[in-house]
Structure 1
Amino acid sequence: MDLLTPGLGLIFWQLVGFLGLLFLLGKFAWKPILGALKEREQSIESALASAESAKLEMQQLKADNEKLLDEARAERDKILHQAKEAAKAIEEEAQANASKRADKIISDAEASIETKKAAALADIKNQVADLSLQITEKLLRQKLASDQEQRALVEEYLKDVKVN
């Protein structure tokens, strides 16, 4: 059993070594270890605060990005709306111009037709007058071939003139 129970001298020297080690550790190692732990704790707290700050900043940036995206979408929609209105205005103006041009072409064509119609009617009247004169001349030549017939016609015309 001697092996299981240590001697009193061994316990005393182990206790003296342990207390010496405890004194040396307390004097030289404990303060730097506690300082390092405190410094580590502070750096961890600082890192956590930085992470929280970065998280808040990221949320703010995300909100700003969403706001910018919304503004960009609104601007895009506004530009598209303006472009559609401009295209519609241009289309309406083009249709109005085309309608005006078509009306002008139609009125010019109608005026040209009226002019040509008047010219054709004048030409027909002239031809009818010429034909009438030619027919009258031929009839009078046949009818008034003799002097007696000519005198009778002149007297008849004179009677008509006196009556009027």
Structure 2
Amino acid sequence: MDLITPSFGLIFWQLVFFLLLVIVLGKFAWKPILASLAEREQSIEDAIELAKKTRAEMAQLKADNDKAKAEAIIERDAILKQARQTAEKMIATAKNEAAQEAKAEIEKARKSFRDEQAAAVAKLKGETAKIAIEIAEKVLRRELADKAAQETLVSEWLKDAKLN
């Protein structure tokens, strides 16, 4: 059983070496290890904080983007509505102008027709009067060749004419 139970000297020296190891490690190794652990912990906390800030910024950017998108859609709809209204006004104005021009052209054509008709009627009246006078001259020359025929013709005209 000597192998299983250690002697007092072995335990003493093991305890001395262990304490010496703890002192040396505490003096030289634990401070850098704890410092690197603290630094690592701080960098992890900074990374987590940065991730939270980035997530919040991304959410804000997404909200701003959605808001800008909604505003752009509203503005686009307003521009399209205004463009439709402007196009409708332009079409209505063009139709009115075309109708007015057509009325003016029709009235101009009617006036021109009336003027030409009046000129033709006047010319026709003049020609008719000229022909009537020529015929009357010829008839009167032939019928009024003697004095008795003239008197008979005048008396017939007087009978036909109604005196008021």
Report the TM range for the smaller structure's normalisation. 0.7 to 0.9
Q: Distance in 2 between matches of 1:36 and 1:90?
A: 77
Q: 5+ unaligned residues in a row in structure 1: which ranges? A: none
Q: 1:34 to 1:139 in 2, by over 3 A?
A: same
Q: 1:158 to 1:49 in 2, by over 3 A?
A: closer
Matching residue of 2:71: 71
Q: Distance in 2 between matches of 1:47 and 1:158?
A: 135
Matching residue of 1:135: 135
For residues 98-139 of structure 1, what are the alpha-carbon distances to aligned partners after superposition, in whole Å with 9 as ceiling and x for unaligned? 000000000010111111111111111112111111111111
Q: With structure 2 as the length reference, what TM-score do the two structures score?
A: 0.83
Matching residue of 2:49: 49
Cα offset for 1:6? 7.2
The AA in structure 2 aligned to 1:28 is F
Q: Distance in 2 between matches of 1:118 and 1:9?
A: 154
Cα offset for 1:159? 8.6
Structure 1 position 26 matched with structure 2 position 26: yes
Q: With structure 1 as the length reference, what TM-score do the two structures score?
A: 0.83
**1:96-107 mapped onto 2 (5 Å cutoff):** 96-107=96-107
Q: Distance in 2 between matches of 1:53 and 1:18?
A: 47
Q: Distance in 2 between matches of 1:29 and 1:5?
A: 33
Moved more, 98-107 or 77-86: 77-86
Moved more, 97-106 or 150-159: 150-159
For residues 117-164 of structure 1, what are the alpha-carbon distances to aligned partners after superposition, in whole Å with 9 as ceiling and x for unaligned? 111111111121111111111111110112343355456668999x77
Moved more, 31-40 or 150-159: 150-159
Cα offset for 1:37? 1.2
The AA in structure 2 aligned to 1:120 is A
Q: 1:62 to 1:157 in 2, by over 3 A?
A: closer
Taking every aligned residue pair, what percent have the same amino acid on both sides?
50
Matching residue of 1:83: 83
Cα offset for 1:15? 3.9
Q: 1:30 to 1:157 in 2, by over 3 A?
A: closer
* Matched pairs, number: 163
